[in-house]
Homo-oligomer: A and B are copies of this chain.
Amino acid sequence: MPALRIALAQVNACVGDLPGNAALAVRWCQRAAESGADVVLLPEMLLTGYPVEDLALRESFQQASRRELDALPARLVEAGCAERLVVVGYLDADEAGPRNAAALIHRGAVVGRYFKHYLPNYGVFDEFRYFRPGNTLPVVRLGGLDLGVVICEDIWQDGGPVAALGEAGVDLLLCLNGSPYERAKDDTRGALVARRAREAGAPMAYVNLVGAQDELVFDGDSMVVDARGELLARAPQFVEHLLCAELDLPGGAWQRQGSRETVPGFELRRIDLDADGDGVGRERAPGAVPAMAEPLPDEAEVWGALVTGLCDYVHKNSFRSVVLGLSGGIDSAVVAALAVDALGADSVYGVSMPSDYSSEHSRDDAAELAKRTGLHFSVQPIAGMVGVFVEQLGLTGLAEENVQARCRGVVLMALSNADGHLVLATGNKTELAVGYSTIYGDAVGGFAPIKDVPKTLVWQLARWRNEQADRRGETPPIPPSSITKPPSAELRPDQLDSDSLPDYELLDEVLDHYVEADRGVCDLIDAGYEPALAEQIIRMVDHAEFKRRQYPPGTKISFKAFGRDRRLPITNAWREHCP
């Protein structure tokens, strides 16, 4: 039974940084070679980063990607990886346009290419905009084993290249991924990989990107399953990792009974790397025990995603520090705690900006948060600024309330201009959904870390993060009173969120139906919600579309984040009603 040592490089690429990503590929291949791997698998579109969006359509970028790929085989030889089969994702292009591609590299040459067959064009994905689907199926013979390659969406759809490879007979499926994080997606993904392995009758090695790109976080979660779908190895989420596994495989899948020489709809290409050499089976030290990372509990996973999203946005965009307003409330406290975890306290600047309506406990809680986390803290009262606007323009009511939030926005942006900080917006998903925020006020910022976190989950994360600290014997970062006090925007005397909004538990439930599941008002009423309440919430969501369009980007953690996941017109006369 031939044994194959396989290494999955779960790495953090940066969109557009072709030389940096190529160097990353070489470095990790070298590590894999040193650990005796026969096959090194790198993620989808690694050389360009993913997703590159309209860069895929630019000829200069396509050419640069091709050049980087063309130079890679020689660099891998130099790095001592000549005898390894390296499979790496890149952007291909010819006169007919770009392709989402994987190159198979061996002994200084590209020996085969695979082009993604199923192109996702839903949710955050627009791959029909960019790519043509591929229909070639390279099957590589290495060490007497037949290996097939597929890319990401190819395993999310029934049939297609996975089924075709199953029919052709393969000993191992290699799957390259750029699969963005969503809450609990790792469960779905694991089950899916297992199912496809069983369907194809072959083990699957699944490698995913790690790190963040704008609103998307890639959580890694790379894994190897056997032909029965049993998990053999699993990488930890949110960190770069070389996942190694040694597989004893039957071999000769191609020649096995029932294997077919052709499969309808695909062009099978057999590539025999054993023909001119000895393939695998070289002398090597015994492999380490493969990693078997435990899946993270829900809050830890979400926290990991949010930290990764913020950290990579800041660093990949060359910022060194962030500034945010600290109101004493739960949202800014959680964002501050995230920022400290992502960047270190010394890179985080918190500003308390009390107005005449700010309560004493708000000021105290903001100061207390600063003390607990060690972030830089300053106080800038806004009464002076607000006063000039209110008096000169004769403002009252909502106009007066909003001027307070907008003066705070001007202060934060001024500090950003003066000191180079990235401003963080502290709004949560619930607020964004119902428009409970001031545009150009508390909504200012270059990044909005908890934009996709519903209010009830904000509280849950705060409690969890404090408990974690307790468990480790550290100071819990978030002042307990920020968690327990009733939420208020404090833009007028004795204001409470509950004056304008339903109870948050109920609100988040309804939003989950309307936003995430796209259910209509009748479904909500059928599910038992009070018609007037359901209609009120839906109206608020519809009416706030214009605000969401101008909101900063922020990390997606849900099935349907506001933004590319949910594309609705602003001008929209549709009103949900029961016929």
Contacts and interface: CB of A to CB of B under 8 A. Distances in A.
A33 B212 CA distance: 59
A567 B14 contact: no
Contacts of A519: 59-60
Contacts of A313: 571
A398 B384 contact: no
Interface in A1-45: 14-18, 20
Nearest to A59: B520
Given A15-B574, A446-B546, A520 B58 contact: yes
A574 B393 contact: no
Given A53-B567, A384-B392, A393-B380, A579 B64 contact: yes
A55 interface: yes
Given A15-B572, A67-B579, A550-B551, A389 B385 contact: yes
Contacts of A67: 579
A53 B563 CA distance: 13
A521 interface: yes
Nearest to A522: B60
Interface stretch (A120-128, A161-169, A196-204, A427-435): A120-128
A550 B406 CA distance: 16
Contacts of A121: 121, 126, 128-129
A543 to B, nearest CB: 10
Interface string A368-410: 0000000000001000110011001101111100110011011
Contact of A51 (B392, B413, B546, B569): B569
Given A128-B121, A571-B214, A393 B406 contact: no
A399 to B, nearest CB: 4
A310 to B, nearest CB: 12
A108 to B, nearest CB: 22
Nearest to A385: B388
A539 interface: no
A549 interface: yes
A407 to B, nearest CB: 7
Nearest to A550: B550
A57 B570 contact: no
A410 B413 contact: no
Given A55-B569, A128-B128, A444-B440, A574 B61 contact: yes
Contacts of A552: 549-550
B402 A389 contact: no
A188 interface: no
Interface in A51-81: 51-55, 57-61, 64, 67
A316 interface: yes
Contacts of A300: none
Contacts of A567: 53-54, 126, 129
Contact of A60 (B551, B566, B576): B576
A123 to B, nearest CB: 9
Contacts of A392: 380, 384-385
A566 B54 contact: yes
Contact of A52 (B54, B396, B569): B569
25 contacts: A16-B569, A17-B573, A20-B573, A52-B569, A53-B568, A58-B518, A59-B518, A60-B520, A60-B523, A61-B520, A121-B126, A121-B128, A126-B126, A126-B567, A128-B128, A312-B571, A316-B573, A385-B388, A388-B388, A389-B414, A393-B411, A395-B414, A402-B414, A402-B417, A413-B439
Interface of A: 14-18, 20, 49, 51-55, 57-61, 64, 67, 121-122, 126, 128-129, 212-214, 312-313, 316-317, 380, 384-385, 388-389, 392-393, 395-399, 402-403, 406-407, 409-411, 413-415, 417-418, 439-440, 444, 446, 518-523, 546, 549-553, 566-576, 579
Given A55-B572, A60-B522, A385-B389, 14 more contacts: A15-B573, A16-B575, A58-B520, A60-B520, A61-B574, A121-B128, A129-B567, A214-B571, A316-B573, A385-B385, A385-B388, A399-B417, A402-B414, A403-B414
